[in-house]
A = this chain, B = another copy of it.
Amino acid sequence: MEAELRSLLLDIDAIKGSLPDVSQHDSIAKMEERIAKILSLSKAGISRRSKVKDMSAEVVDSNPYSRLMALQRMGIVENYERIRDFSVAIVGIGGVGSVAAEMLTRCGIGRLLLYDYDTVELANMNRLFFRPEQVGMTKTDAAVQTLSDINPDVILESYSLNITTVQGFEVFMDSLKRKIPNKNGQISSTTTGVNLVLSCVDNYEARMVVNQACNELNQTWMESGVSEDAVSGHIQLLVPGKQLVLHVPHPWLLHLE
C-alpha cells in the first residue's frame, strides 16, 4: 500500500506542472498533505517493537524478557540467555504446532523452522493462534506474520511444503542439516542444524516421515498427538539410540484387531 501511495504522489506532481493557474497549486499542496497523513495512518497499523541485542534482566515494564530472566534469578534456569543459541523445527502448524511456535517465540528462542503445506481456513478458528483475517494465507506465512510482530528477535524460516512427498522430504532433510553460525560466528558441533524437532502433525504418514528423518539424522525429537474428540492427547520424547524408536501401528491395522 505504501508503494501505491508514493506512486500517487508522483502522479499528482506530474499534474501540478500542467495546471495553468498557479493559485491552484494550493489545492495540490492540500492533496499532498492528505496523502502524507494517509501514509502515516497506514504505517501506524504495523508498529513493531525494535530488536533487542542482548536479553536484559532489568525489571521494567518495557523489557520483553524481564519475566523470563527472573527464572534465572530464582534459580529455575541456570543461563536463560542460552535459549538464543537454540534452533527448533516444528512440523505441522496446526492446533499444537502453532501454539508451540508462539510460546517458543515469546520465550525468545533463537531460530524456528516451520513446516506445513496447508492454508488457514475459518474452520481452524476453534483452536488458538490463527485469526480470521489470515484466511487463505499459507499457515507458515500467517505464522511468520504473527510471530515476527510478537518477537522480531527470533529468526523464522517458513517451509510451505508437504514432507511426505519425495521433493518435500528432500527440502525437509536439507533444511534440518543446514548449520547457521551463532552470533560469535561459531558453528555448533551437533549432528544437525537444529536442537529439537517437534512433530505436531495430524496423520500417520507425516508422523512416520518425521520418525524416519530423525532416525537418519540421529536427531532428538518430540512426538505429539491429540485425540479426535479433543479430550486427551500425548507427548513423547524420542532420542535415537537411547529411547525406543517410535513404532505406531497404522490405524488401519488397529481397526482390524
Contacts and interface: CB of A to CB of B under 8 A. Distances in A.
B34 A123 contact: no
Interface in A6-20: 7-8, 11-12, 14-15, 18-20
Nearest to A21: B18
A contacts with B: majority SS: helix
A126 interface: yes
A27 B4 contact: no
A141 interface: no
Interface string A89-127: 000000000010011001100000000000001111111
A41 interface: yes
A22 B24 CA distance: 17
B123 A149 contact: no
For this chain, the copies found in one complex come to: 2
A209 interface: no
A15 B11 contact: no
A13 to B, nearest CB: 11
Given A31-B11, A121-B62, A122-B61, A4 B133 contact: no
A231 interface: yes
A34 B62 contact: no
Interface residues of A, number: 66
A213 interface: no
A30 to B, nearest CB: 7
A30 B11 contact: yes
Contact of A228 (B74, B102, B229): B74
A5 to B, nearest CB: 6
Interface of A: 1, 4-5, 7-8, 11-12, 14-15, 18-21, 24, 27-28, 30-31, 34-35, 37-38, 41-42, 45-49, 60-68, 71, 74, 76, 99, 102-103, 106-107, 121-128, 131-133, 135, 146, 149-151, 228-231
12 contacts: A1-B38, A7-B34, A8-B31, A47-B132, A67-B123, A67-B126, A71-B230, A74-B228, A76-B229, A106-B127, A107-B126, A128-B128
